C-alpha cells in the first residue's frame, strides 16, 4: 500500500503501477479490438492514474483504486471514441486464434459464441465479469464499480445464468 505522504519524484507510483500492470492490460484487452487502440487506451489509463495519484487514499487497496480508474477511463474511452459502434472486443484477439487452432469444430463454436456473448454485454456487466474472472471478491468489485455488494452478487448470478442459457 502507498504511504500517506507520497514521494515527489513518482517512484512509489511507478513501483505500484509496475506491480499491478496486468490490470491495465486486462482492461485494455477487454475494451479494445486492436493493438493500436489497446495501446492508446493503456496510455490514457496511465495518464489518468498519474493525474489521480495525489487523491489516492493509502488506506485502501492500490489495485482496487487502479481498477476503478482504469475501468472508468475505458468506459469513457469507448463511449467517446466509438459512439455507438462496436469497436471493442471482450477477449484478446489471441482467443480467436485459440479457437482457430482448436482440435474440434465444437470447441471453435463454443469459443466464438462466448466471445460474442461477452462482446454483447453492456459496459457495467463486462466490468463485473472481468473483475469476477480476476478472482476479485464481491466486496472489491462493489468498491471498484461503486455499486452494492448485493448488486454485484445479483449481476454475477444473472451473468452466469445468461451465459449458461446461451451456451446450452
Return the pLDDT at 108: 72
Residue 20 has pLDDT above 60, yes or no: yes
**Domains of the chain: which residue ranges?**
1-89
Return the pLDDT at 104: 62
- List, for residues 110-140, the tens digit of each pLDDT value: 777 777 888 888 989 999 998 998 889 999 9
For residues 85 and 21, what is the distance between their CA atoms, to the nearest angstrom? 28
Q: Helix crossing, 105-119 with 149-167: angle to 10°?
A: 140
What are the phi and psi torsion angles at 54 (to 5°)?
A: -60, -20
The percentage of residues in the chain with a pLDDT greater than 90, rounded to a whole number, is: 52
Higher pLDDT, 107 or 81: 107
Higher pLDDT, 118 or 13: 13
Higher pLDDT, 142 or 6: 142
Return the pLDDT at 22: 94
On whether the 1-89 domain is CATH 1.10.3720.10, my answer is: no
Return the pLDDT at 85: 47
For residues 50 and 18, what is the distance between their CA atoms, to the nearest angstrom? 13
Residue 98 has pLDDT above 60, yes or no: no
DSSP secondary structure of the chain: ---SS--SSSHHHHHHHHHTHHHHHHHHHHH-SSHHHHHHHHHHHHHHHHHHGGG--TTS-HHHHHHHHHHHHHHHHHHHHHTTS----SS-HHHHHHHHH-SSHHHHHHHHHHHHHHHTS-HHHHHHHHHHHTT--HHHHHHHHTS-HHHHHHHHHHHHHHHHHHH-
Amino acid at each position: 500500500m502507498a504511504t500517506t505522504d507520497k514521494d515527489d519524484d513518482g517512484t512509489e507510483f511507478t513501483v505500484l503501477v509496475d506491480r499491478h500492470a496486468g490490470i491495465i492490460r486486462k482492461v485494455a484487452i477487454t475494451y479494445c479490438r486492436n493493438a493500436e487502440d489497446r495501446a492508446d487506451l493503456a496510455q490514457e489509463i496511465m495518464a489518468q492514474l498519474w493525474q489521480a495519484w495525489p487523491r489516492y487514499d493509502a488506506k485502501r487497496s492500490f489495485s482496487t483504486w487502479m481498477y476503478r480508474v482504469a475501468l472508468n477511463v475505458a468506459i469513457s474511452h469507448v463511449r467517446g471514441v466509438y459512439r455507438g459502434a462496436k469497436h471493442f472486443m471482450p477477449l484478446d484477439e489471441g482467443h480467436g486464434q485459440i479457437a482457430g487452432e482448436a482440435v474440434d469444430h465444437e470447441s471453435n463454436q463454443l469459443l466464438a459464441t462466448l466471445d460474442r456473448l461477452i462482446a454483447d454485454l453492456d459496459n457495467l456487466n463486462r466490468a463485473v465479469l472481468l473483475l469476477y474472472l480476476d478472482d476479485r471478491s464481491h466486496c472489491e468489485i462493489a468498491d471498484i464499480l461503486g455499486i452494492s455488494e448485493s448488486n454485484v452478487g445479483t449481476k454475477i448470478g444473472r451473468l452466469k445464468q445468461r451465459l449458461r442459457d446461451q451456451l446450452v
